[in-house]
Amino acid sequence: MTATMRPSPSACPACAAAPAAEALAASAVPRAQIALSLPTIHCSACISKIERALNADNRVTSARVNLTLKRASIDAAPDVTAEEMRRLVEGLGYEAHELDQGTLNATANDRAGRDLLMRLAVAGFASMNVMLLSVSVWSGAEDATRDMFHWISAAITLPAIAFSGVPFFRNAWAALRNRRLNMDVPIVLAIVLAIITSLWETMLSGHHAYFDAAMALTFFLLAGRYLDHRTRAIARSAAEELTALEVPRATRLVDGAEEVVNVAQLAVGDLILVRPGGRMPVDGEIVRGTSEIDRSLLTGETLPVFAGVGQAVSAGEVNLTGPLTLRATAVGAETSLHRMADLVAIAESGRSRYTSLADSAAKLYAPGVHILAGLSFMGWYLYTWDVRTALNIAAAVLIITCPCALGLAVPAVTTAASGRLFRRGMLIKHETALERLAQVDTVVFDKTGTLTTGMPQATNLETLPRPVVELALALAQGSSHPLAQSITRTARAAGIVAADLTDLTEVPGYGTKARYQNQEVRLGRASWTGAQGLSETATFLKVGEGAPVAITFADALRPGAAEAVQGLMDQGKRVILMSGDTTPAVEALATRLGIPQWMAEALPADKAARVAALTAEGAHVLMVGDGLNDTAALAGAHVSISPATALDAARVASDIVLLGNDLSPIAAACMTAKSATRRIRENFRIATIYNIIAVPLAVAGLCSPLIAALAMSLSSITVSLNALRLR
Amino acid sequence: MNILTYLIPISLILGGVGLVAFVYTVRSNQYDDPEGDARRILSDDWDDHPKP
């Protein structure tokens, strides 16, 4: 590979690129990399059992289980499929799911995290050594010994800071280039000035050098940065694992033969087979088969829609009863699913206006510190006419006021709060999501799939005569349609035995029919059974020539939905229900949960516009939604939450992802976010108090390196401890 | 105080050895699966012969 990759002296770049691309493609083929998610493994016996079984397969080159990530990575011959490996592991009694390798690769090596950790380690090593040398200076080393200690400190500090201070230098430079001030500008100024004055003092064999302060400052601030980075890396990798669980595959029909391919390889005009229960991979037109499709993730409608030859379908819809063959009309980025991304991009531009607490603190703080340091330099220079004294004092002021505690104040609290919420099943994806969550005063819920599970529940079975229910159960139990499954579940739970039927057949898209005592019985759509459609979700049972009987359904509530709504209202928040479903269905749910304000038949743009209108009125909106029709509203809201069952696009657009099935953590999360923000503000206040005590000392020229080191460490430790008090 | 000429280099070298060891562990992916590694040490799968 390296041989062909060498740049050839050809004049045409494409000629040189083609063989190189071929070489790359050839080298990528031979090994199959497979990743499995193993959510139930927990002990060393699990590890060795799974690894032994996987390695026993002679096509597997190597298999390794990672217990921290609960994942297995397998290196195998190219003909091994993930499905085989998954079945092998499930045969051992462990739950296993395939993970999409393409999505995972992006996270596999967390370069930025490793880089920060390396810099932190170097800063830690250097600050320990310099601190030890400083202790001996403070306890009375004199003359030549003191000078030697200062020189050794300088020799350690200079390269260490040059290496580990890079993130600060880079950020400060980026801010200055855009003519802005951020927290990193005073940090860099303090570090650089401290080193310059200390070097100068050392050359003149002076008493005070601030090498230890500069080094400790870098170490503490890097620790804050690293905490911050880790919290977000954990959330990011968990969110990516959710995405990787949905492997994008489709069944393509080529000359009547089926082949399973990656969705990315589909082209316009391909024939695609979608089995019952499958999701449409592309936009297309039905060319064969009849079925019903569930469009709830796109529109919020709970009622399944009939689908027949010639009808257009969009990516993301779920096929319910019969197999369908589609001809693709739009693939990949052209599908309606992806076009929604434009709406999201427009909505998102509104959110980026939020300034985090740390940034607004920096805005107040940075100019104040610089003016103070400048003034003390001027004052002392005019008083003594000695640049050396004045510079020394200015450096002391900068070091004392340096935002060591301020740099730790936010990350320490967000790490503690995110960890706590993660244990309750919430993923905080965005760095300022917690602060924004704390400001929320209006909560907008989507209905289908968010407050409800999207699973219908039969409501009037107990009011129907028993023979009717027995017939309905007999017709329903063979079908995989959600309404039929719901009838089966409810009737079986009531202890009803199915009637005896003959010739049971399912007519995809319509319902099921059979013969019962020489009469035809049908269970299915209104038009097929000769009934009048109802406004609520319903299916109809027709016996012979008799009048059809309606079986009605209501959407089942998601666990914790009532508690979440109640909890939010108890906190004095305004709760609004917004759905694309029909008016009666939305009204029924609103009354059931006691939500005063609701809006039905809302289009995606309506939802986003309503959220924008609420924001314009000055409300801080929390949007909770799962569907494609919610993505624009999710991105436009002040802060947004989506459940793990949501479409990938919705999860990407939201700040927080709910991992479990339960909604009740939402109300508690608002409380946690409030107390976290309170702790952050408290931390700022603690840091300010330390400054108020120490700054007069520094300005008066009474500050020694010992006092600077004490103030810095004490304030950092207090701030970290205060963050740990978070409940 | 002449002892310092030995002690300071010794302490710096010892600290440096620790730093290099840490950098080595980070580079060789030893923090990828802390939980799994803690359990693997208890397994007796490869006690009699090393893992191929």
Model ipTM value: 0.86
Residue B9 covered by a domain: yes
pLDDT, residue B21, reads 93
Low pLDDT (below 50) residues in chain A? 1-29
With beta carbons less than 8 A apart as the criterion, state whether A35 and A73 touch: yes
Residue B34 covered by a domain: no
**Chain A interface, mutation test: which of B45, B46, B47, most A Cβ atoms within 10 Å?**
B45
Distance CA B25, CA A616 (A): 53
With beta carbons less than 8 A apart as the criterion, state whether A452 and A557 touch: yes
Q: How many domains does chain B have?
A: 1
Q: What is the 3-state secondary structure (H, E, C) of A360-386?
A: HHHHHHHHHHHHHHHHHHHHHHHHHCC
Residue B21 covered by a domain: yes
Q: Which residue on chain B is closest to A126 by alpha carbon? A: B15
Antiparallel, parallel or unpaired: β A597-599 and A97-99: unpaired
Domain range for B8 is 1-28
Distance from CA of A66 to the nearest CA of B (A): 6
pLDDT, residue A353, reads 61
Residue B48 covered by a domain: no
**Chain B interface, mutation test: which of A43, A46, A48, most B Cβ atoms within 10 Å?**
A48
Distance from CA of B36 to the nearest CA of A (A): 5
Distance CA A692, CA A401 (A): 9
Distance CA A4, CA A596 (A): 69
Identify all chain B residues contacting A148, using CB atoms and an 8 Å cutoff: 4
Q: Point out the residue among B16, B19, B39 whose CB comes nearest to the CB of A44.
A: B39
Map tokens 């087979």 to a residue. A273
Q: What is the 3-state secondary structure (H, E, C) of chain B?
A: CCCHHHHHHHHHHHHHHHHHHHHHHHHCCCCCCHHHHHHHCCCCCCCCCCCC
CA dihedral A371, A374, A375, A380 (to 10 degrees): 160
Map tokens 């959220």 to a residue. A611
Of A420, A406, A56, the C-alpha closest to A234 is A420
Residue B22 covered by a domain: yes
**A48/B43 touch (CB, cutoff 8 Å), yes or no:** yes
Distance CA A522, CA A541 (A): 6
Using CA atoms, how far residue A652 sits from A289, A604, A637, in Å, is: 34, 17, 14
Backbone angles phi, psi at A139, to 5 degrees: -85, 15
DSSP H helical segments within A314-356, as ranges? 336-351
Give CA A726 to chain center in angstroms.
23
- DSSP conformational letter for A542: E
- pLDDT tens digits for range B30-45: 887 888 888 888 887 7
Residue B52 covered by a domain: no
Residue B5 covered by a domain: yes
With beta carbons less than 8 A apart as the criterion, state whether A686 and A721 touch: no
**A66/B18 touch (CB, cutoff 8 Å), yes or no:** no
pLDDT, residue A697, reads 84
Q: Point out the residue among A48, A65, A156 whose CB comes nearest to the CB of B45.
A: A48
Identify all chain B residues contacting A128, using CB atoms and an 8 Å cutoff: 15
Take residue A490 and report the two structure tokens written for it: 């409810």
Secondary structure element (H or E) that encloses residue A697, with its range: helix A665-699
pLDDT, residue A352, reads 54
Is A446 annotated in the active site?
yes
Identify all chain A residues contacting B12, using CB atoms and an 8 Å cutoff: 129, 156
Distance from CA of B42 to the nearest CA of A (A): 7
pTM: 0.74
Q: Which residue on chain A is closest to B38 by alpha carbon? A: A44
pLDDT, residue A154, reads 93
pLDDT, residue A346, reads 58
Residue A321: exposed, middle, or buried by beta-carbon count in 10 A (0-12, 13-18, 19+)? buried
Sign of the CA dihedral running A155, A159, A161, A164 = negative
pLDDT, residue A336, reads 67
